[in-house]
């Protein structure tokens, strides 16, 4: 295991954790709005986000990641998942691991133990970003309004993930199921994207899921 100083960054003293959209009152909107809405949004809040860097061409690195996470190292522009844990390719030597809330510390320790003395970097970036999940039959239409990236099924199948411009800013779009997509967004832009989605999805109906 590396000699890096690994410590628990999530408060355990009763401090209240709040998502970047806690003030928007999404919980109060659950069950309201148009019936059979074309788009449903769910805030996947307070998950653990870890950036992992290493040599993807080194079999020892790929094997170590698989040993620690039970996930194969994804190739370019893809994301793999097991339950609520996902691993996404971000660049030639960079991946993003997302784990359930509170599990990021344990995940980092497992990775460091499995990767031993390999030249790696693992950084907890949980506080800087979050995920908005969009589901429903009209999500693709909302994406077509919002990004110039081609989201046609032939170009953007399930399992693909790309960083792109969306609503004049940058984020990551992940296609996780047939009618389900995730927007990996920066925390400081949460308000902007929430307002954008309300406007872009208005004609199809927008509902909020807890």
Structurally, at CATH architecture level, domain 47-125 sits in 2-Layer Sandwich (3.30)
Average pLDDT over residues 43-66: 97
The Cα 194–Cα 57 span in angstroms is 39
Q: Which fold has domain 24-46+128-209?
A: Gyrase A; domain 2 (3.30.1360)
Which pLDDT score is estimated for 7? 66
Average pLDDT over residues 113-131: 95
pLDDT at 204 over 60: yes
Which pLDDT score is estimated for 48? 96
CB 128 within 8 A of CB 186: yes
DSSP string covering 51-92: EEE--TT-HHHHHHHHHHHS-PPP-TTBEEEETTEEEEEEET
Q: Where in the chain is the domain with CATH 3.30.1360.120?
A: 24-46+128-209
Query: What does the mean pLDDT of the chain come to?
Result: 93
Banded model confidence at residue 3, pLDDT cuts 50, 70, 90: low
The Cα 81–Cα 176 span in angstroms is 9
Q: Where in the chain is the domain with CATH 3.30.70.1520?
A: 47-125
Q: What is the pLDDT of residues 75-105, one digit of tens each?
A: 999 999 999 999 999 999 999 999 999 999 9
Q: Is 67 left (phi over 0), alpha (psi -120 to 50) or beta?
A: alpha
**What residues have CB less than 8 Å from 119, skipping those under 6 apart?**
54, 55
- In the chain, pLDDT over 70 holds for what percent of residues? 95
Q: What is the pLDDT of residues 159-187, one digit of tens each?
A: 999 999 999 999 999 999 999 999 999 99
**In this structure, what DSSP letter does residue 16 have?**
P
Average pLDDT over residues 25-46: 90
């Amino acid at each position: 295991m590396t000699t890096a100083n690994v410590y628990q960054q999530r408060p355990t003293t009763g401090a209240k954790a709040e998502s970047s959209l806690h003030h928007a009152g999404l919980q109060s909107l659950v069950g309201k709005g148009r019936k059979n809405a074309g788009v449903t949004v769910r805030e996947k809040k307070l998950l653990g986000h870890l950036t992992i860097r290493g040599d993807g061409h080194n079999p020892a690195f790929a094997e170590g990641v698989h040993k620690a996470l039970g996930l194969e190292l994804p190739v370019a522009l893809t994301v793999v998942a097991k339950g609520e844990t996902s691993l996404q390719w971000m660049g030639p030597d960079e991946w993003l691991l997302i784990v359930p809330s509170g599990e990021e510390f344990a995940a980092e320790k497992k990775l460091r133990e499995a990767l031993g003395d390999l030249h790696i970097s693992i950084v907890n970036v949980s506080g800087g970003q979050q995920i908005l999940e969009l589901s429903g039959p009209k999500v693709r239409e909302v994406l077509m309004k919002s990004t110039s990236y081609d989201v046609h099924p032939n170009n953007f199948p399930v399992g693909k993930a790309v960083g792109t411009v969306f609503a004049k800013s940058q984020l990551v779009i992940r296609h996780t199921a047939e009618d389900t997509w995730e927007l990996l967004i920066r925390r400081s832009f949460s308000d902007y994207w929430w307002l954008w989605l309300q406007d872009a999805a208005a004609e199809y109906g927008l509902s909020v899921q807890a």
